[in-house]
């Protein structure tokens, strides 16, 4: 994920994870790597510092209203790159429904799914062929990332 972020020259990033033990462990690992990434070597390729602008936890069994309450404020901020990790498929589906309802997708919005799945596997296994979910996924990129793998092995 670091290489992808460097390539796109993003300067702001938000992180969203589940609030269970796994999600918090992945967030902890990400924060550790994020802090380490501010080394001179990493920052030499950036014209500005990469800033973590938000860190949110979503309950595993969150209702659509709870997810909306968490994601709605993202519209007002200037961050348009968000990492999603440690989220089960049902929660991820609800998140993308809210992303669609709130217009948090399309040109300028990027959602990185770290270690979550591939779009095709997730859609096939969970039957999410809804047009709103597919449309909201237009800015979604799945990346197999060592952050998620490291967190999974520590549990």
For 84-121, the pLDDT digits (tens) are: 888 887 788 889 889 999 999 988 898 888 765 544 55
Closest CA to 48 of 74, 2, 12: 12
Strand ranges in the chain using DSSP code E only, listed in sequence order? 12-18, 51-58, 81-85, 110-114, 140-143
Contact 138, 99 (CB under 8 A): no
Residue 103 region, left (φ>0) first, then alpha (ψ -120 to 50), else beta? left
Q: Which two structure tokens, joined as six digits, stand for 145?
A: 């990332």
For 47-85, the pLDDT digits (tens) are: 456 788 889 999 988 999 999 999 999 999 999 999 888
**Residues contacting residue 88 through CB under 8 Å, at least 6 positions apart:** 18, 60
Please tell me whether the overall predicted TM-score, pTM, comes out greater than 0.85 for this model. Answer: no
Q: Which two structure tokens, joined as six digits, stand for 79?
A: 């961050």
**What sign results for the dihedral spanned by CA atoms 13, 87, 115, 57?**
positive
């Amino acid at each position: 994920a670091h290489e992808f972020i460097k390539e796109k020259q993003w300067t702001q990033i938000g992180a969203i994870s589940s609030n269970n033990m796994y999600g918090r462990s992945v967030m902890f690992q990400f924060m550790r790597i994020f802090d380490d990434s501010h080394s001179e070597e990493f920052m030499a390729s950036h014209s500005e510092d990469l800033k973590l602008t938000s860190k949110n936890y979503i309950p595993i069994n969150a209702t659509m209203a709870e997810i909306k309450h968490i994601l709605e404020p993202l519209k007002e901020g200037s961050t348009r790159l968000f990492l999603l990790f440690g989220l089960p498929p049902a929660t991820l589906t609800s998140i993308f429904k809210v992303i669609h309802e709130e217009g948090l997708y399309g040109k300028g919005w990027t959602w990185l799914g770290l270690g979550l799945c591939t779009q095709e596997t997730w859609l096939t296994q969970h039957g999410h062929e809804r047009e709103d979910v597919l449309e909201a996924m237009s800015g979604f990129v799945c990346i197999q990332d060592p952050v998620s793998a490291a967190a999974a092995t520590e549990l």
